[in-house]
């Protein structure tokens, strides 16, 4: 059975903004999607890649 991811809005998505993303932890890593198109495509990243992105973003 496939586990359904629990999506949450990015902390960088402020109130009233239209350019928002949602992230979810998945078995192999992290998935990202457009919050306005929740049935659309998602991007999947291995956890190591996602953590490197966060370190770069917060540097």
**Can you tell me the mean pLDDT for 7-32?**
82
Rounded to whole angstroms, how far apart are CA atoms 26 and 46? 9
Tens digit of pLDDT for each residue in 22-54? 999 998 899 999 988 889 999 999 999 999 988
Note whether 33 and 12 are within 8 A (CB): no
Give yes or no for residue 1 having a pLDDT over 90: no
pTM score above 0.85: no
In 3-state terms, what secondary structure has residue 23? strand
User: How high is the pLDDT of residue 41?
Assistant: 94
Closest by alpha carbon to 29, among 13, 9, 5? 5
Q: What is the residue-averaged pLDDT of the chain?
A: 84
Contacts of 11 (CB under 8 A, 6+ apart): none
């Amino acid at each position: 059975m496939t586990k359904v991811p629990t999506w949450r809005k990015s902390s960088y998505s402020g109130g009233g903004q239209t350019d928002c993303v949602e992230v979810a932890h998945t078995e192999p890593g992290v998935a990202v999607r457009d919050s306005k198109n929740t049935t659309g495509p998602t991007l999947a990243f291995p956890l190591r890649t996602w953590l490197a992105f966060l370190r770069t973003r917060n540097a």
